[in-house]
Amino acid sequence: MHHQDMPPRDMHHREPFPRIAPRVTIRVSGKLFQGHLDYLDQMVHSAEECRLWPLLNLAHLEELDSAALSYLTDGENRIFGIVSCPNFIREWIENEKHRDAA
């Protein structure tokens, strides 16, 4: 199959866990609040446009608000991956996922 014969790739309906796709890491540190989400989302979408799977490194994230928690919960494994997540944030994300599923 030639490149021009391949169907266009829809970046908004990406398969979860693209293990083979090239990746880019976006480090998020300090505080993540609603006012930061537009900029973070812009970086995530820029990575997608470059056909890169964005990984959010949250190792140094210390504080987040409910909007940021929802963004991480809703986007994880759908539009980005999460690596090096502090335990307390991982617990919040998991609790939010369970609450959404209930």
Q: For the segment 52-66, what is each residue's pLDDT rounded down to a tens digit?
A: 999 999 999 999 999
CATH topology of domain 21-101: Transcription Regulator spoIIAA (3.30.750)
**pLDDT band at residue 5, thresholds of 50, 70 and 90?**
very low
- Compute the distance between CA of residue 58 and CA of residue 68 in angstroms, rounded to an integer: 12
Question: How buried is residue 1: exposed, middle or buried, by Cβ count under 10 Å (0-12/13-18/19+)?
Answer: exposed
Domain locations along the chain: 21-101
| Structure-token pair, residue 37 | 């989400």
pLDDT tens-digit map of 9-25: 444 444 455 566 799 99
Amino acid identity for residue 21 in this structure: A
Characterize 37-69 residue by residue with b for buried, 16 or more Cβ atoms within 10 angstroms of its Cβ, and e for exposed: beebeeebeebbeeebbbbbbbeebeebeeebb
* pTM (2 d.p.): 0.78
